Structure 1
Amino acid sequence: MELDNAFKDSLIKLRRNLHAFPEQGFLEIRTANIVKENLTSLGYEIKSGLEVMNKDYLMGYPSEEAFKAHIDKLNQLNEALPDFKDGYTGIVATLDTNKPGPTIALRFDMDALPITESEDSNHYPTAHGFSSKNHGSMHACGHDVHTTIGIGLAKLLMDHKTELKGIIKLIFQPAEEGVRGAKSMVESGVVDDVDYFIGSHIGLNAKSNEIITSVKGFLASSKLDVEIQGVSSHAGAKPQDGKNALLAAATFVQQVYAIERHEQGASRVNVGTLQAGSGRNVIADKAYLQMEVRGENNIVNEFMIQRVYDIKSGIEAMFGVKINITKVGEAISIEPSENMEQTIYSLLKEKFPKLNIIPNETTPSGSEDATYYIDSVMRNGKDAIYMNIGSDHEYNHHHPKFDVKEHDMFNGISCMYEIVKLYNGN
């Protein structure tokens, strides 16, 4: 479908609005209000918050201090933001055609990263006046574009409602970064009735005017916070009375990096932060680490987690400390539907001859909690895939100068519209 220029201009304006005030996971209060306002005005049935999120499966939920600090920033904007102040920012917008047909769902993530955006004049958002005004947060992975694609697609679908059948669900998800938000939405049942599911991402390994029909190779992953409790003591006078949390943490880090390989696939481990100690002559009584493990498949990831807990037990015995490990994020590995991949590949090749349509991509990359939706749908005997909307980007995802080519989001909207028409067209 050819999109008119006025529609494109409105989406660019929306994307820049979202980019200028990025919000991290479960803090997407302004973003979710914008989504809800747009989709309500279009006539969608809206469910949100705990209607579509299961509290028992929330991971990595922000502290009260983080909420308060963010609310204080929002109050300075002087904008009407009536909803989502509790941080349950998930939204499901439903278009029911009232005609028999399948149910298709598409997911769009909304959250930003804890990155300070570049102020260099050669950084496109800075040069054009829409770089982050929420210092310390940045849309450095394109989720502002994803949210815009979802809203743009919503308008197209509603404009052509008479040409559609069945039910279309648009899922706007919080907290994909750190793979924290999807599981609570899946466990609330948002895809229990879904026949076809599509997740997607802009950029990644695909260039502008490329569309990868099905991305495979996402790594299973678990994000862990590790707290070590020791005993403080004078390092000179009473060293024997101390239980050194800093030394325990250092040994813990060395040992997790030494975890053996597994025959069933590649693995990853990273300790991203370590905080410990209060003074030169004080034996540290506390240490805190943020770490992650990943596996080429779920078996390898579970092996990595088990070895981390084995190391925990050894460190506790060796140093006399207590270690608490909290899972704050998780994703699984999946194999998407081959039938859906081939069907959509053939469709897009026919409809978009000027685009380079690629059937699949299997290079192991990061992790993505859209895998929970895909797994849930496919366990029910239905079909699900994850697409890549190509876009050139000079700097990698999660870089302070990351940006995509705005016009590429129109390829995403057009392709998704044709896919929905394929499955839910009259």
Structure 2
Amino acid sequence: MDPILFIDQERKLILQTYKELHLLAEPSWKEKNTSKYIKGLLEDVGISVQTFLGHYGLVAEIPGKKADVIALRADMDALVQEVDGMVRANHSCGHDAHSTMVLFTALALAKTKTQLTHTIRFIFQPAEEKAEGALKMMEEGVLENVKFLGGIHVRPSFEVPYQKASPVILHGSTVSIKGVIKGLQAHAARPEEGNNPLEAVALLIQAIRQIRLKDEFPYSIKITELHGGEASNLIPESARFTFDLRAETNETMEKLIKQSEHTIKNIANLTETDIDFSLAEYSPAAIKNDEAIKLAERAITSVLSEENLQPICKSPGAEDFHFYTLKNPTIAATMIGLGCDLSPGLHHPNMSFDQEALIYGTKILVKLLVEADQL
């Protein structure tokens, strides 16, 4: 049987699997039940699955005539956010959809006994939301012998319309600067005896806002978290802050980080405070690979037609998928942007999309592997 026909026949099961994964929502590094669920379905059709100690990532593999590998990657974790007044794990970024599509790509090829020349590897990754999972999976050697790596991500309607798809998502780079300013505590009646860290952080915010780069690519930096003080009549000893940095390219991000660090050190000297800070939650920008993009274009047009191919999807968001290419620039890789009538937006607690997109998204991934097999 043709794997595309298999996907049509298994439509109800695909949608049911998505719903079950959606309800399993588990935060980063705690994807135990999600991983177990995916592993069971893969092993039921005879696909070999590798698990790892210390985390719930897994790798499934269908042997080919060659040891060289073409691969797909899916993320499994959910966000932790407030939903209807309760803080809980919630799949508002579509990782349940991504896992469903990659899972059924594997099942379609296995159950229809579709033989490709290359070995096919399916990477189910933990902790994308913390920008740590891709790095961990690379430590486990999941890119060994990989020539091509594909991914897919559901997109908001304003980026990619329903029943359209883009062969590449150009995510930007993002990083957080987290720090603590330590001053000197004092009674509010005797401020001269202390050194107020809140005044220091106020100066820091203004100084950060004045950063200007001579750069052709967009960037931004802004305060996103600030904590300090517990009493109205007391100058606190410390204040805690987070700045969010965004840049369209990795090179621009390097400049922005350098200028930010310089600014923080200047404010520490000016205010005679100690500012201890570090970088966190770094994700690199996408690196375009023309060869991989062409493969994705052919896969999309084969399933949706040429008129439903959207050339480029640009997003100010971040994705740790791009660590794979940053650390392994010889691999042809791309992430497909899937139009699915998604609203109000990614990470919104009430995010929803048209689940019919899971069907044509899975077909695109099957065709993508067929195209990549020609490498």
The TM-score normalised by the length of structure 2 is 0.90
Alignment of 1:335-354 (within 5 A): 335-353=287-305
Say whether residues 1:105 and 2:63 are aligned partners: no
Q: Deviations over 1:259-311 (max 9, x none)?
A: 11332421111322111111011111122223221212112101111122112
Contact 1:179 1:329 in 2 (8 A): yes
Structure 2 SS opposite 1:399: coil
Alignment of 1:217-296 (within 5 A): 218-237=171-190, 239-296=191-248
Q: Distance in 2 between matches of 1:363 and 1:36?
A: 33
Q: Distance in 1 between matches of 2:356 and 2:84?
A: 22
Contact 1:273 1:290 in 2 (8 A): yes
Contact 2:302 2:367 in 1 (8 A): no
Q: Deviations over 1:293-334 (max 9, x none)?
A: 121211210111112211221222223322222322112223
Over 3 Å counting, the alpha-carbon distance change for 1:146 and 1:362 in structure 2 is closer
Give the fraction of aligned pairs with identical amino acids, expressed as a percent.
Answer: 24
Unmatched 5+ stretches in structure 2: none
Partner of residue 32, structure 1? 35
- 2:29 partner letter: F
Kindly state the Cα deviation for residue 362 of structure 1 after the two structures are TM-superposed: 4.9
Q: Distance in 2 between matches of 1:208 and 1:296?
A: 25
The CA RMSD measured in Å over matched residues stands at 2.5
The TM-score normalised by the length of structure 1 is 0.80
Structure 1 SS opposite 2:49: strand
Q: Deviations over 1:160-191 (max 9, x none)?
A: 34522321111112222243322232344322
Partner of residue 371, structure 1? 322
Q: How many residues get paired?
A: 370
Partner of residue 393, structure 1? 342
Partner of residue 140, structure 1? 92
Kindly state the Cα deviation for residue 406 of structure 1 after the two structures are TM-superposed: 0.9
Kindly state the Cα deviation for residue 351 of structure 1 after the two structures are TM-superposed: 4.6
Q: Distance in 2 between matches of 1:41 and 1:12?
A: 18
Kindly state the Cα deviation for residue 152 of structure 1 after the two structures are TM-superposed: 1.4
Which of residues 8, 12, 31 in structure 2 aligns to 1:9? 12
Q: Distance in 1 between matches of 2:304 and 2:57?
A: 32
Q: Distance in 2 between matches of 1:27 and 1:250?
A: 37
Kindly state the Cα deviation for residue 416 of structure 1 after the two structures are TM-superposed: 0.6
Q: Deviations over 1:27-49 (max 9, x none)?
A: 22322222233323333333333
Say whether residues 1:49 and 2:45 are aligned partners: no
Partner of residue 80, structure 1? none
Partner of residue 57, structure 2? 90
Contact 2:169 2:315 in 1 (8 A): no
Kindly state the Cα deviation for residue 244 of structure 1 after the two structures are TM-superposed: 1.9
Contact 1:191 1:376 in 2 (8 A): no
Q: Distance in 1 between matches of 2:266 and 2:95?
A: 41
Query: Does 244-253 or 411-420 show the bigger shift?
Result: 244-253
Partner of residue 58, structure 1? none
Say whether residues 1:406 and 2:373 are aligned partners: no
- 1:24 partner letter: P
